[in-house]
Amino acid sequence: MTGSKRLTQHDIAKLAGVSQATVSLVLNGASAALARIPPETRERVQHVIRTTGYVADPIARRMAKGLNRILGVFTYEPAFPSEQADFFTPFLLGIEEEAQAQKYDLLLLTGAGVGRERKIFADGNRLRIADGCLVLGREFDRAELKRLVSGDYPFVAIGRREDAGGPVPYVGGDYTNGTRTLVEKARALGHEKLAYVGPSGSAESVADRWRGFADATTAGAELVLHVDEVGRPAGETLDVIVASGATAVFFIELADAVRVEAAARKRGLSVPEDFSAIVLGSHVRAERSHVQFTAFDIPREEMGRQATAMLVRRIEGAAPIEQILLTCEPVEGETLGPAPFGSAKKRT
């Protein structure tokens, strides 16, 4: 067949010398139905499909099976600028890998037409082109999350999500236990005066880190400094760390740890000899360092893979609500050492 005319199942049936119903079964049929078609007939139909490059019309397939075999991916922040790459790219790699294994295509949903503030339920949104949607971002719109929970549209959140008027299906990282483990390692090395650089809420991922930190400092350790923000000038942060007498500093953001360590070197201070620096696994702002920081690893690719598999289960069957937290393994690094002898000594 020549020209620009789109091939149909009727065309494939004529070329293969079979009925259109047989072609439909080969393309869409369940195993039991396919078993009734002789193997040589199936092979003849599949050979014609391969040689003609036929692709089933997605609308027709939706009518026949109720599925487009398309998964939506919605991010509340732009996924591709370089400053976001450390955060989003591993998730997207895992999502793409599992979608391919499950034989689904991906559709990136950007909340087009709503300006800089992204919305899932924007005017004219095309959410239902996809059979279901993965939702990720540092913070979710609570009203939109509640609307998803109360509706019938399959979705899965990447990251633990609560406060949505009902249970949210999600795959997240166990930041609480990951943080607790690092604090316990620091305390085992004699650190009792601790500092924390980063907020304590309101996003679940932030609150989970703070909970793990607080749980591990209840007996004997002292929080001598809490800088309740990220992105503060490194020199100012270093000033308050030194003044507090903290011997171990926990950073939510790698970028803050990198800049404070560089500022300390300029002043003749050394990490971990003068104070230890521990990163609680978040790399939202791109940053590079010659130092391997003690941290925990967030299994972002695996989170993307498992969330995609969970979404497919929800699309293809009446799967129960699943909530999965993956272990965040500690990374040894070079920036956690024993508490300095005489830690109350003056540091300049």
Q: What is the DSSP string of 191-213?
A: --EEEEES---SSHHHHHHHHHH
Domain that holds residue 249: 175-298
Residue 256 lies in a domain: yes
- Give mean pLDDT in consecutive 10-residue pieces for the chain, a chain of 348 residues: 63 90 77 78 88 66 67 84 71 96 91 64 76 89 91 93 91 97 96 96 90 90 94 96 97 94 96 96 67 94 97 88 96 94 50
Same domain, residue pair 169 and 304: yes
β-bridge partners, 195: 225, 249
Long-range pairs for 5-9: beta carbons < 8 A, 24 or more residues apart: 6/57, 7/52, 7/54, 8/57, 9/56, 9/60
β-bridge partners, 194: 223, 248
Same domain, residue pair 246 and 196: yes
Look up residue 19 and give its amino acid: S
Q: Any idea what the Cα angle at residue 218 is, between residues 216 and 219, rounded to 5°? A: 100
Alpha carbon separation from 251 to 220, 255, 283 (Å, rounded): 21, 9, 11
Q: What is the pLDDT of residue 308?
A: 97
Residue 27 lies in a domain: yes
- The pTM assigned to this predicted structure is 0.77
Same domain, residue pair 257 and 317: no
Q: What is the pLDDT of residue 264?
A: 97
Q: What is the pLDDT of residue 37?
A: 87
Residue 295 in 3-state DSSP?
strand
As for how many domains the chain has, the answer is: 3
Same domain, residue pair 158 and 81: yes
Same domain, residue pair 59 and 89: no
